Structure 1
Amino acid sequence: MFSSLDSIYPLAKVSREDLANLCDVLWNWRPCTDWAMERTCQKRAESIPCSCQRAETLTTFFDFYRETTAFYVPELTYNSIPALRTHEDLRGMIQFIKNNPDDTRLELTQHYFSHHTTSSSKGLLSNDQNRAFNVAARIMTMLTCSAEGQSDGLLETGSQPTPWRSDQSFNQFSNSAIPRQNPISFESYASGCPSITLPPASITAKRLKKLAKLKITSTNDLRNHLLLDEKDGTVAIYHHTSVLKQHLRAYQYDGTQGNPDQIADQNVSLPKELIVETLNTLKYVIFPIEPESQSILRSLVARERFDPDNCRLDASTWKAVEGDNIRYEYWGTRLLRLYDELENPTPRGFLESWLERKSGARYVMLVTLAGVVIAILLGVLGLAVGILQVWISWQQWQHPVA
């Protein structure tokens, strides 16, 4: 019997200080003390730029962190302790992964739990260790992952976690979770790009809703971005632009000592090209600067818990990295699938489905044959009517009325 809820859900309570320390371990900056202590920021009161302004853009990410950590339930048996007991444990695990990104998952797990815990940790369960590393990786990448043979109950809820194999390093996992595929470009960006091209402004939120009758839903798993569900008539959008921009700023770190590229490599958990592509799909493809798509975006922010940072996307943050010629190598296949759906929408509702079934090629011959039969019947009836009229005329001629 557990003594309290804290032992069942050890990470359920999250303080502002925990969130401030999280920013520090993820991106090497932290909000000001006033923000962490939930006080009015003195710098903001004096109209001076402050780190708390960056923290305020991460509201939806902090909500994601609270939800993810709240549902961490350790596997406790007699004489065992949780792999994660506090948020400090989780931050230490994240920092350990960042410091050793080329070690395999098995090596990370063994080294971490042998050097970063006390001797009383011998009762730790391997499943709980794997679950703890899954949570750490998810916070770092926003990719739902699992160890080999361990789904953490995600399969039962319909989610397909990304496997992080025991012989795979963290860098290998984050670089291969969303593989590159055949690139596509939009015509306005396609000069000199050897890739499939699509018409500009062809896959906007407005067209997805009006033409394809798709419902836009939010997803916290980056791997589900732009995923079309034909059966349910939905398209999932990864919306945490504030997190992507923090990752990108870490890549653009301009330190005065050491090699900035090496520093950035330790600060970022996702490939830079993937970050830029994802931001571009949101800014230029799905939610371009046109009234109806922007109206849909504002509605999603208000009703679907989309990141409000989408409404203030500043393209200069990432456009300088890639320039104007964008080739979508990570999301190209899904963009092409959405374009195909717009060109040939899946029938929605009973009437559209019935008409779609009746419009198949196998029914064309039946319709043609039915037309021929009807024409023959009408011809026979017409012939019978003609014969009857001739007979009546003959009788009138043979037997005139006096």
Structure 2
Amino acid sequence: MTDQIHLFPLKNVTNVDLQNLSQCLWRWQLCGDCSGEPVCAKATCHWSRAKRQQATWTRYKDLTAAYVPELFTRQAALNTHADLLKIMRLINERPDDAREHLVQRHFVCPEIDTENIPAVSDQYRAMDLAASILFSVNCGMSREHADLLEDGISTLQWRNNLSATEFLREAFPKTLQQAFESEKEHPEWSTITPDLSAKQLRKLTGLQMEPTCDLRSHLVLDHEKRVVRVFHCTAMLKENLSASRSDSNDCVLPRQLILEVLHTINNVLFPSDRESQALLSSLVSKHGFDEDLLRYESMVLGHEDSVESTYAYFGVRLAELYDELQNPSPRTRLESWFERKSGARYMLMATMIGVFIAIVIGILGLGVSTFQAWVSYQQWKHPIKEE
């Protein structure tokens, strides 16, 4: 009956729900004595690391709290958090099944009365929510994420004919070609990345760092807002790596993708020098970045060489930042009036400023000359008679 449908069925999230989520995402093993507790005191229990996942918990709460089922139906697609975790496990267990097959397998089966099957739109909404949490992307139709679009963050639709594996390839395409347009001008990454630190971007181009929980938005340069988005849920990525340490196929997200994100944060944007770390601390304390960014763990050290040599996922965005550093976009209306190319723009700007100064000086000189001529004329017309 319609009165059984709650407007926000997933609004309340308990510690037990978060513990179940951790077991679903990273297969955490809990000791059993910390059920429902915010954290576990036993170092051997995975729940002792729960405080590090505050950004993950916050995103989960925000996404689930916004879920609204179809109200005029007999059954909602999601009534509890357990329902959502079932879909996430199904996606994880069958990564090569098309989305439409996953929907049919979960929502349409002989055991379920056809009258109690949720509305198709609600089924898709539940699947999008599960994918958003599982893959750390904003998945779904654009009209369902109007608030995100207003902030300049794009959404990606998981089409019914795509499997989870194919969806991830579409969400995170590898760059097979050179990140730079000209191979002759293609410099080594080792010579570029030292210039792409957050402090350099901030100092030379005025770009600010902005946190994002959407993995697809990592290193996206927003020219209008003059910000670079940085994925800051790094604790979640580290747990994904840890969970897949024994079996690389057990990682939901591509390992190379995770390593590139961590490398671009820890080694490119915020290297170990004092000024960069001070900037990072300021972003954490004042601008909403997660505290885990301050923890640099050795678990990724063994993979950094291969990451830096390719940048298969984020090479294009790093190249765009480098191009912005070499040819800064105009910041003011005056600069926007000039050509986009940096050298020509500043040469024309200097010429125009020189012409403007010359015109001002000429006008002032003309005024002084006019005044002197008028004084001379008055002296000639009205000479002073000596007594």
Unaligned runs of 5+ in 2: 181-185, 367-387
Q: CA separation in 2, counterparts of 1:85 and 1:368?
A: 66
Q: CA deviation at 1:352?
A: 5.2
Relative to 1, partners in 2 of residues 1:213 and 1:35: Cα closer, same or farther, differing over 3 Å?
A: farther
Q: CA separation in 2, counterparts of 1:251 and 1:173?
A: 20
For residue 50 of structure 1, what is the amino acid of its counterpart?
A: C
1:245-275: CA deviation from partner (whole Å, max 9, x where unpaired): 111112212xxxxxxx3xx52x422111111
The alignment status of 1:244 with 2:237, answered yes or no, reads: yes
Larger radius of gyration: 1
1:266-314: CA deviation from partner (whole Å, max 9, x where unpaired): x422111111111100010001101121111112212232221110121
Relative to 1, partners in 2 of residues 1:175 and 1:301: Cα closer, same or farther, differing over 3 Å?
A: same
- Larger RCO: 1 or 2 (CA < 8 Å, sep 6+): 1
Identity of aligned residues (%): 36
Relative to 1, partners in 2 of residues 1:324 and 1:98: Cα closer, same or farther, differing over 3 Å?
A: closer
Q: CA deviation at 1:323?
A: 3.7
Q: CA separation in 2, counterparts of 1:361 and 1:311?
A: 39
Q: CA separation in 2, counterparts of 1:60 and 1:293?
A: 22
Partner of 2:64: 69
Q: CA deviation at 1:87?
A: 0.1
The alignment status of 1:234 with 2:217, answered yes or no, reads: no
The number of equivalent residue pairs is 350
Relative to 1, partners in 2 of residues 1:153 and 1:50: Cα closer, same or farther, differing over 3 Å?
A: closer
- Report the secondary structure of 2:209's partner residue: strand
The answer (yes or no) to whether the contact 1:184–1:198 under 8 Å persists in 2 is: no
Partner of 1:14: 13
Q: CA deviation at 1:31?
A: 4.2
Q: CA deviation at 1:116?
A: 9.5
The answer (yes or no) to whether the contact 2:40–2:48 under 8 Å persists in 1 is: no
Aligned partner (choices 91, 94, 100) of residue 106 of structure 1? 100
Task: Compute the TM-score of the two structures, normalised by the length of structure 1.
Answer: 0.77
Relative to 1, partners in 2 of residues 1:59 and 1:163: Cα closer, same or farther, differing over 3 Å?
A: same
Q: CA separation in 1, counterparts of 2:354 and 2:50?
A: 70
1:371-400: CA deviation from partner (whole Å, max 9, x where unpaired): 9x99xx9xxx9xxxxxxxxxxxxxxxxxxx
The alignment status of 1:317 with 2:299, answered yes or no, reads: yes
- Report the secondary structure of 1:152's partner residue: helix
Q: 1:34-45 alignment to 2 at 5 Å? A: 34-38=33-37, 41-43=40-42
Q: CA separation in 2, counterparts of 1:288 and 1:365?
A: 36
Q: CA deviation at 1:32?
A: 4.1
- Report the secondary structure of 2:205's partner residue: coil
Q: 1:190-209 alignment to 2 at 5 Å? A: 198-209=191-202
Q: CA deviation at 1:80?
A: 2.8
Q: 1:183-332 alignment to 2 at 5 Å? A: 198-253=191-246, 261=247, 264-265=248-249, 267-314=250-297, 316-323=298-305, 326=308, 327-332=310-315
The alignment status of 1:58 with 2:53, answered yes or no, reads: yes
- Report the secondary structure of 1:237's partner residue: strand
Partner of 1:162: 156
Relative to 1, partners in 2 of residues 1:73 and 1:286: Cα closer, same or farther, differing over 3 Å?
A: same
- Report the secondary structure of 1:294's partner residue: helix
Q: 1:341-352 alignment to 2 at 5 Å? A: 341-349=324-332
- Report the secondary structure of 1:135's partner residue: helix
Aligned partner (choices 74, 78, 81) of residue 84 of structure 1? 78
Partner of 1:333: 316
Q: CA separation in 1, counterparts of 2:307 and 2:130?
A: 35
The answer (yes or no) to whether the contact 1:20–1:30 under 8 Å persists in 2 is: no
Relative to 1, partners in 2 of residues 1:50 and 1:350: Cα closer, same or farther, differing over 3 Å?
A: same
The answer (yes or no) to whether the contact 1:60–1:305 under 8 Å persists in 2 is: no
- Report the secondary structure of 1:8's partner residue: coil
Identify which range, 231-240 or 117-126, moves more after superposition: 117-126
Relative to 1, partners in 2 of residues 1:230 and 1:111: Cα closer, same or farther, differing over 3 Å?
A: same
The answer (yes or no) to whether the contact 2:135–2:252 under 8 Å persists in 1 is: yes
Q: CA separation in 2, counterparts of 1:223 and 1:283?
A: 18
Q: CA deviation at 1:53?
A: 2.6
Q: CA separation in 2, counterparts of 1:245 and 1:367?
A: 53
1:13-64: CA deviation from partner (whole Å, max 9, x where unpaired): 0000000011111111144444442277453xxxx44322322211111011
- Report the secondary structure of 2:228's partner residue: strand
The alignment status of 1:28 with 2:27, answered yes or no, reads: yes
1:192-248: CA deviation from partner (whole Å, max 9, x where unpaired): x99666434110110111111011111111101001111211111111111111111
Q: CA separation in 2, counterparts of 1:121 and 1:297?
A: 54
The alignment status of 1:152 with 2:144, answered yes or no, reads: yes
Q: CA separation in 1, counterparts of 2:349 and 2:39?
A: 72
The alignment status of 1:138 with 2:137, answered yes or no, reads: no
Relative to 1, partners in 2 of residues 1:369 and 1:286: Cα closer, same or farther, differing over 3 Å?
A: closer
The alignment status of 1:125 with 2:122, answered yes or no, reads: no
